[in-house]
Structure 1
Amino acid sequence: MGRMGTLCNSFVGSFQTPIFTRVKTRHKQPLLPRRNLNLKAMSMDPTDSKTYQQNLLVMRHGDRLDNFDPTWEKTAARPWDPPLIQTGLSRAFQTGRAFRTLLPFPIHRVFVSPFLRCVQTASEVVAALCADDDVPKAKSSRDVVSIDPSKVKVSIEYGLCEMLNTLAIRPDVAPKDGIFRFDIPKLEALLPSGTLDRAVEPVYKEMPQWEETVMDTQSRHEKMIKALADKYPSENLLLVTHWEGVAVSVSAFKEDTSVAKVDYCGYSELRRSVSWKNQTFSAGNFEVLTKSGRTGVTYYAN
């Protein structure tokens, strides 16, 4: 079920920086490279005339239960929508802490696939980003005493969902009628209190159709990246999605490139120039800043 190439990445390693306690693990967590660049894209008045950099991260969800407990799906009411295991929750939270501490820009807004594993991932990341105090020993959102919900706003977006075909979801666990139903209010309740932005209109008003092709999925994810970036051009974005979404964020914007592997909580980083003038904006093409293997995404030249 889903991409099986990440089972070896089943331990939460430490980020290799002085601010984290070193933990001996089998696999190291990806590094976030430091850059001496002024990449901070602040929310601004569109009447201003200004050019700046917009940053966008595209992240895969954490460790999903069905890849570690094959018996789970036999009794699950929604076998196509597994939750995270505790390792996945911890991995997501630690990734959020690293974003907060090491990225040279703030994340203003998060968009997330409606699948449970993605919402749980986003919840942990946002809790880390919004925590009033950074607690080095914190392992998950349960260790966060209080948050400032004004730091980051979150929305669920159907267009970031899993690839809806039998390559990603086995037919024996997919809904018999091909309709993937989500209780959106219930999912929104999983997000840290006060971070949900109820005013946001989703790009996709409903789920894509079951048995979409791989090309349809890739086109959808590429369009979602562009649409969300254009909708919020003065903000830095984090998109929490699935294997294919992260892969497309690299291959669609880096010529002649194919993605071989996306680890749990692996992510890509994109950047583009945005200029405001006379209440309208123009934007350059996205540049992929991710180096192969550095942040849990491995790719190669075609």
Structure 2
Amino acid sequence: MNPTSSSSSSSSKSETMNPKKQTQYQNIIVMRHGDRIDNFDPLWISTAPRPWDPPLVEEGRVRAFCTARKFRNLFGYPLHRVFVSPFIRCIQTAKEAVIALSAIHDNPEALTGDSLPIDPSKIKVSVEYGLCEMMSRRAIRLEVAPKDGNWGFDISEREAMLPAGTVDKNVARVYKELPKWEEPLSDTRARYEKIVKDLADKHPTENLLLVTHGEGVGAAFSSFKKGTEVYEVDYCGYVELRRPIFKKDQSFTAGEFEVLTNTGQTGVKYSI
């Protein structure tokens, strides 16, 4: 949260909701995962035990880390929480992002988070089913999807992949399970819009980073910037949203989201 605009100083969470200020803002970053292996190695799928769940290539880890490290200086506010899709490419992206955002010392020569010490109190991360990939053949080819319908997402296993001490297991997931297979596109886009709002409403005093998929970033953009159509989201492309938060006694109400991202500026291209 920042007290007057999207370029406030990096205050602590206890300082971000100053009752003496008339307007505070909640900031949400919705980011796509990094470069996935099946788009670089066409033979990977033929031998993969989980072909519907490709990991990142090394370039994807580098892109994720460097993008999140840029956030530390680009925005005038801290990010308090990360929510991430259970797909492994998103988990690996979130891992690099969390390390970049919580590193004790910013090493400009580091390309990934390997061996960087972190302060796990700086940011918390949770896995959220509502941020998952489009559950249809529009995103996952039918011959790649599990034949028995078992997607095999072990949340405890995914949490163990994230930096030690950063996982918040006390946060209840908005979506308790994966959306059903062959989810209609209109339902997918509505889900992405809903999960942004739901997570923001659950944590109104905190700024959030949501790590999801390309369609999720596009839907977050077009849902809150009416009359636009996103036609491309680069790896680790992201959209920056903010909304005013009004505090009364111990409750909070929120205004409408505003999109702060311009076309092509952050790897998101759209038309009007």
Seen in structure 2, the aligned counterparts of structure 1 residues 229 and 41 have a Cα distance that, compared at 3 Å, is farther
1:254 counterpart residue number: 225
Once the two structures are superposed, residues 64-107 of structure 1 have per-residue CA deviations (whole angstroms, 9 ceiling, x without a partner) of 00000010111111000000000000000001110112211100
Match of 2:169 among 195, 198, 201: 198
1:7 alignment counterpart: none
1:134 and 2:94 equivalent? no
- Equivalent residue in structure 2 for 1:56, among 4, 14, 28: 28
Residue aligning to 1:289: 260
Match 2:235 to one of 264, 277, 286:
264
Match for residue 115 of structure 1 among 58, 71, 87: 87
| Residue aligning to 1:43 | 13
- Match of 1:78, SS? coil
Q: Which residue of 1 aligns with 2:151?
A: 180
In the alignment, residue 86 of structure 1 is paired with which amino acid?
E
Gaps of 5+ in 2: none
Which residue of the other structure, out of 38, 52, 61, is the alignment partner of 1:89?
61
Contact 2:91–2:162 (CA<8 Å) still a contact in 1?
Answer: yes
Distance in 2 between residues matched to 1:215 and 1:40, nearest whole Å = 38
The aligned counterpart of 2:75 is: 103
Q: 2:268 is matched by which residue type in structure 1? A: V
Return the offset for 1:200: 0.5
Aligned to 1:242: 213
Residue 48 of structure 1, CA deviation = 5.1
**Distance in 2 of aligned mates of 1:127 and 1:40:** 18
Cα distance change, pair 40–285 in 1 and its aligned pair in 2 (3 A): farther
* 1:68 corresponds to: 40
Secondary structure of 1:219's aligned partner: helix
1:185 and 1:39 mapped to 2: Cα distance?
A: 35
- TM-score, normalised via structure 2 length: 0.94
Alignment of 1:224 with 2:191, yes or no, is no
Residue 32 of structure 2 contacts residue 237 of structure 2 at CA under 8 Å; is this kept in 1? yes
**For the residues of structure 2 that align with 1:294 and 1:131, how far apart are their CA atoms?**
26
Percent of aligned pairs with the same residue? 57
Matching residue of 2:248: 277
Letter of the structure 1 residue corresponding to residue 52 of structure 2: W
Q: Could you tell which deviates more after superposition, 277-286 or 55-64?
A: 277-286
For 1:115, the aligned partner's letter is F
By how many angstroms is 1:178 displaced?
Answer: 2.8
- Give the drift of 1:187: 1.0
Distance 1:242 1:291, change over 3 A: same
Of stretches 46-55 and 208-217 in structure 1, the one that deviates more from structure 2 is 46-55
Q: Tell me which moved more, 210-219 or 180-189.
A: 180-189
Distance 2:199 2:13 in 1: 15
Aligned counterpart in structure 1 of residue 119 of structure 2, from 124, 145, 148: 148
Task: Decide whether aligned partners of structure 1 residues 215 and 56 sit closer, same or farther in structure 2, where only a CA change above 3 A counts.
Answer: same
1:98-117 Cα distance to aligned partner (Å, 9 max, x none) = 01122111000000000000
Once residues 28 and 196 of structure 2 are traced to their aligned partners in structure 1, the CA distance between those partners, rounded to angstroms, is: 9
**What is the CA RMSD across the aligned residues, in angstroms?**
1.8
How far has the Cα of 1:47 moved from its partner? 11
Look up the equivalent residue of 2:79 and give its one-letter code.
Answer: I
Aligned length: 266
Residue 31 of structure 1 is matched in structure 2 by none
Cα displacement (A) at 1:143: 4.4
Tell me how far apart the structure 1 counterparts of residues 177 and 118 of structure 2 sit (CA, whole Å).
31
Q: Is the 8 A contact 1:44 1:234 kept in 2?
A: no
Classify the secondary structure of the residue corresponding to 1:252: helix
Q: Which runs of 5+ in 1 are unaligned?
A: 1-34
Aligned mates of 1:139, 1:147 — CA distance in 2: 15
1:38 to partner: Cα distance:
2.7
